A and B are shown apart, each in its own frame.
Chain A
């Protein structure tokens, strides 16, 4: 059960994972809804969409997300990192409430509470779980014993 306690810089990485993904998705949505309908018959128009300002900004944010995400995956489990990504939705909802003064319905508050509870559950546990060692990873003598069994 290594890496039970996260270092401050590891919390910063998880924070970047949480913030960059929903902001990037929002930029993509804004960019794509402004474009005319794209059909499978003309897939090249999807490539052209990449160079429009909102999509480009969304991609820049998603590159920041991906770099932080890869770093997090190098010292934590996938099932530990993913709830952190979902926590970004809570950050965006709270920003829209207190910064943009948007109304948040009861369902959304319930969603915020559930995601926070879920992330709290995972954060209480280890970030990296011990995996059963395969025969190939064991020292030679121990591997022989495993094969006999």
Chain B
């Protein structure tokens, strides 16, 4: 297996740490955001009942939403930092595909989603697919 040029220039462990930071922050952010939106309820229904301002107010008054956005912001700056040192063809597939699997695990544990065999298979297929597509 050959190590991509951008990894050998940055160092294997530094590259791993950059990608791990993106994965951890985005998983935490997505789980908090999903929990927030579940507690808020169907945004389309809220918008129909109280208008766009009501929908925005419902989201912005949920503390979980801010926890989610904070982690997603951290994930975003970790991504910018990683893109400055590593190639997109490495960062995008590695972080996107691994995030799918960590999110499926986190969705099952923290959000109590029913991740059945169908969704596990989909997560694995999409994970391999993203890797092949962006490699």
**Main secondary structure on chain B at its contact with chain A?**
helix
Interface positions, chain B 99-135, Cβ under 8 Å from A, are 99-100, 103-104, 107-108, 111-116, 118-119, 121-126, 128-135
On chain B, which size bracket covers the interface?
35 or more
Interface residue tally for chain A (C-beta within 8 Å) = 53
Q: Give the interface SS of chain A, mostly helix, strand, loop or mixed.
A: helix
> Which residues from A are CB-within-8-Å of B83?
28-29, 32-33
Give the Cβ gap from A58 to chain B, nearest Cβ, in Å: 10
Cβ contact within 8 Å between B43 and A71: yes
Interface residues of B (CB under 8 A from A): 30-31, 33-34, 37-38, 40-44, 59, 72, 76-77, 79-81, 83-85, 88, 92, 96, 99-100, 103-104, 107-108, 111-116, 118-119, 121-126, 128-135
**Is there an interface contact between B44 and A114, defined as CB atoms closer than 8 Å?**
no
Contact between chains at B122 and A46 (CB < 8 Å): no
Is A142 part of the binding interface, using a Cβ–Cβ cutoff of 8 Å? no
Other than the given A89-B129, A125-B119, 16 more pairs (CB < 8 A) read A26-B88, A73-B34, A77-B113, A78-B34, A78-B111, A79-B113, A82-B123, A83-B100, A86-B130, A107-B135, A108-B132, A111-B129, A115-B130, A115-B133, A116-B129, A122-B118
